[in-house]
Structure 1
């Protein structure tokens, strides 16, 4: 089983090739607002490094948001074309899941601008505080109430040190948690900032 994993939703471009659940090749590059011009050269280089062709793929796995309005769409557009042309399944995980991996008691925050962040608390790859948008004061208050949480992501927004994230390993570990897309043609990015119901009061 050959799986192509991609993420372009936030500050990084992540490309991972899995074969029977094991990493064959992978790249995680910091390329803020450069994912569109970087994805294809890096994808081709990854595929060439293990001798894969597009027709070899059995499935694709991507993040479907939240994240940058343009960024989420880049990997999603490529995935939809590949899966539609080859009639192979497409799977999704949350961008916040990719950051958290399967670690226990993790709080992920990603910059949503205007002193706000996409936020969620996860335990072993599963949300125990659903994704939402919080302002930075709300995040500080929430973390004070939950001192056991490890905070990752854009932690500099609240004056905390950043933590390195192994995106490649996280894609591998999260494959069993991915949601299958039943209708690829109607798949759209999840933009929490467009949905007032997700706003924390």
Structure 2
């Protein structure tokens, strides 16, 4: 099974190809405000490098947000077009969930501006707290009440250090039943302001 993995919800462009749940090709780099220029060429480059064609693709997995308006829209649009054109399943995964650590419980955070954070709390098996928005002071209290939880995501705005995670591996290992998009054309991104 060949999976195309895409994340454009933040400042980085992340593109991966997995075969039978093993990452066989990837590229990740800062592409803020240039993701639209780079996404499709990077997908094509990885497929060619791995001697694959679009006909070899079995599924597309994309982060659906929250994230920057343009970034999320780019990834979702490309993923939807690919899934529709190739008649392949599309899986939509929370951008916060792709930050979770491999083991233990993770508090996944993203800057929502105006002294607020987007927060989702996950264990490897379940969603503990669904994606929501919270004042930064509430986030700090939550973290203080759960010192054993790992802090993940770009948390420099809170003067914290986040766990290092591989976004593409998390997309590859996402719960397929929960994240299957039943209507590709109706799939909508989750923007930062939507939570």
- 1:91-130 matches, cutoff 5 A: 91-124=91-124, 126-130=126-130
Could you tell me which residue of structure 2 aligns to residue 27 of structure 1? 27
Residue 154 of structure 1 deviates from its aligned partner by 2.1
Q: How many residues align?
A: 195
Could you tell me which residue of structure 2 aligns to residue 190 of structure 1? 190
Q: Does the 8 A contact of 2:100 with 2:106 survive in 1?
A: yes
Q: Does the 8 A contact of 1:125 with 1:174 survive in 2?
A: no
Could you tell me which residue of structure 2 aligns to residue 44 of structure 1? 44
For 2:170 and 2:84, the matched residues in 1 are separated by: 26
Residue 101 of structure 1 deviates from its aligned partner by 4.6
For 1:150 and 1:122, the matched residues in 2 are separated by: 10
Residue 175 of structure 1 deviates from its aligned partner by 5.5
Residue deviations 1:113-171 (CA, integer Å, cap 9, x gap):
22222111111152101110112111111111111111111221221124322223223
Q: Does the 8 A contact of 1:97 with 1:125 survive in 2?
A: no
| Structure 2: unaligned runs, 5 residues or longer | none
Structure 1 outlier segments of 4+, above 4 Å: 175-178
Residue 192 of structure 1 deviates from its aligned partner by 5.3
TM, length-normalised to structure 2 = 0.92
TM, length-normalised to structure 1 = 0.89
Q: Does the 8 A contact of 2:35 with 2:71 survive in 1?
A: yes
Residue 41 of structure 1 deviates from its aligned partner by 2.3
The answer to whether 1:12 aligns with 2:12 is: yes
Could you tell me which residue of structure 2 aligns to residue 56 of structure 1? 56
For 2:11 and 2:122, the matched residues in 1 are separated by: 20
Tell me the C-alpha RMSD between the 2 structures: 1.7
Partner-residue secondary structure (3-state), 2:173: helix
Partner-residue secondary structure (3-state), 1:124: coil
| Structure 1: unaligned runs, 5 residues or longer | 196-201
For 1:58 and 1:154, the matched residues in 2 are separated by: 31
The answer to whether 1:88 aligns with 2:92 is: no
Q: Describe the shift of the 1:125–1:78 C-alpha distance in structure 2 as closer, same or farther (beyond 3 A).
A: farther
For 1:12 and 1:125, the matched residues in 2 are separated by: 27
Residue 102 of structure 1 deviates from its aligned partner by 3.7
For 2:169 and 2:194, the matched residues in 1 are separated by: 31
Q: Does the 8 A contact of 2:65 with 2:72 survive in 1?
A: yes
